[in-house]
Structure 1
Amino acid sequence: MAQADFTYDLAADAAGLPLAVSIFADCDMLRGDLEDDVTQAGLTVRERGDLHQLLAGDARALGEIVLVDCPNPDVAAMATLARLDSRAAKSGARLVISTSMDSLDAVFGCCSQSNPQILVNPLRAERVIALGRVLAETPNLRLRELSEDDRLTLLRLTEQVGHIAGRLDKLDSASGGWGQKAGGGAFRFESPSTSYRAENDLVRKPRPPLPDARLVRQIIQQRAARAKFLDADLFADPAWDMLLDLTAARVEHQRVSVTSLCIASGVPPTTALRWIGQMVHAGLFDRVEDDADRRRAFIELSDKGADAMARYFAEVGQDAMAMA
């Protein structure tokens, strides 16, 4: 798919030098595409190489942005990702890591400190969008901090562009592409209400109990049944679907992996990961490390999220919810 030209005149550090990017990927064509996209974004490629160069562990000055493609990381690669994650967290470098669905839990577990963007089987357009998100969130490239509304707006725009890119990719029969072909990033975007931020302004009553997990599972099944008869894109609401899934899991005392939660969201995993990050940032989800295996992590409904869901079910009534 042909890429539109785009430039960022202010893509520079505090000294006015173009931001540098390091690219690590085993696929030659992918490295070339990434280098082209980075250059068009007004950035400088500091180095490009295969994963072996990254795994070698040589002390090197990495760029302010590091792009890594590791679809099937082994134990050594995961250890390297964990070190890279720690290094990026300390230096302020931004990571964009692409992987496969099978390796998502492993990669997610390795990256607990730097808040990287994780892409799952991404289209080229989704990689460009990820690069644009990095630039939008880089302090030296903007005049003010992103507010909560700004973050949601950016998320909406990202997914709307992803929707268009996915549709175009399906129409591009001549493309040999290396990205995800089925599903893409196409869905109708819905955002969660920001009313939960006004929580402290309410007169709080004791929190009611969470609903029976069987009721919540019934609601989830009813929502999923719509896709049998109507276009699922019309009803995509990943934040709500994940809230329901984690609510049931909390009642059942079950742990939910990031892969499982992505599936429960009903949207492509890269999209689900963006929403998970937003929900963690909003304090509705918690990332919990696996005590038995530090390379794994789970997502749980936070106390704040549980309070909101319990009050919601109490407000609307369980009978009404069962009919939803």
Structure 2
Amino acid sequence: MDIQAHERVLLVDDDPRALKAMSRALAGGGIACVTAGSAGDALALLRSRARIDVVLSDIYMPSMDGIEFLGAVRREFADRPWLQLLLVTGQASVTTAVAAMRLDASDYLIKPVEPTPLREAVGHALARAESIRRVRHTALDTPQAAELQRVAAAVRDLAQELRQADSATTADRGDLRTLHLLQRLQDARESIFRDAVMPEPAWEMLAELMRARLAGQQVSVTSLAMASKSPTTTALRRIEDLLACGLVARVPDPDDRRRTYVELTPEGLARMQLFLEGFGRLVPGPQ
């Protein structure tokens, strides 16, 4: 299998054995990478190699841990919204899940990382980065760019609606308007952005729960997993993450003990607002 000519993946870990194992696993899938043994070395590589699209970092490193490092990447390279961040941790925790969402991380992987899940996660991140690059580089004088600006306006309106929303007092008319804006965003995302702005499973689930809340519908665990557009095992893990973070809550079906519904919490609503407000980074041209 041919290896990519240009390294678009940066692996960061203070353990040389871990770097070697992950590099070998990615090479087996035709994915070339460059490695760094510290956060400082990784930042230097990012400054000199603008073609890097994916950064995969271990959480526990001396000097600067993975969370701090990826936060620094987001701040210093804010002009590269296509950069995809992945975390590697030896133990799943609520703290890890929250940090991953705050960093808009593509995924986080649990050690020991098997070759196939690693290649799948990195491959997905590469595809998403490439499509975000295409969106960002859309010529401003094209019909597509004009549509992107219309979508960006809808996103701003939706974020404003969510800021003003009160789960206990929002009027039906306001709910219908917000539902219309959310549907417009979903339709545009499918037809124009495709996977470029497709949130990772956790965000996709939050969007589906927001839609259901506004429409007065209930969403089962099974339906929510399907809405995530990800493998069932990944979707179920993300649902547990959202539950642990307090972004969603389980609601038992009083008529069927075998069925459990999931609903958005006020904190989940706030996260959706933050996501929408950051969405505009992907749209080229003036906001």
TM-score (norm 2): 0.45
> Which structure shows the bigger proportion of residues in helix conformation?
2
User: Max radius of gyration: which structure?
Assistant: 1
